[in-house]
Amino acid sequence: MFISKSVLIFCVCLLLAPLDAMAEGDVSGLNDILYWDNGKIRSCTVYDATGHLKAKAYCRNDGTVEKIEKFDLAGNRTEESFYDQSGRLKNGIDGWAARRWWYEDSRTISQITYDEDGRQVERRHYSESGRLVLRQYRDDDNLDPYEGAAMQLLLGSQNIPYRDPRVQD
> Quick one: which of 20, 22, 61 has its CA closest to 39?
61
Q: In what order do the strands lie in the sheet with 98-104?
A: 30-35, 41-47, 53-59, 65-71, 77-82, 98-104, 107-114, 120-126, 132-138, 159-162
Quick one: pLDDT at residue 1?
41
Quick one: pLDDT at residue 85?
92
Q: What DSSP character marks residue 6?
A: H
Pairing of strands 53-59, 132-138: unpaired
Question: pLDDT 10s per residue in the chain (169 long)?
Answer: 444 444 444 444 443 343 333 333 344 467 889 999 998 999 999 998 888 999 999 999 998 999 999 999 999 999 999 999 999 999 998 889 999 999 998 899 999 999 999 888 888 998 888 888 888 877 655 555 555 555 555 554 444 454 455 555 4
Is the distance from CB of 105 to CB of 123 less than 8 angstroms? no
> pTM for the full model?
0.67
Quick one: pLDDT at residue 54?
93
SS3 123: strand
Sign of CA dihedral 128, 132, 134, 135: positive
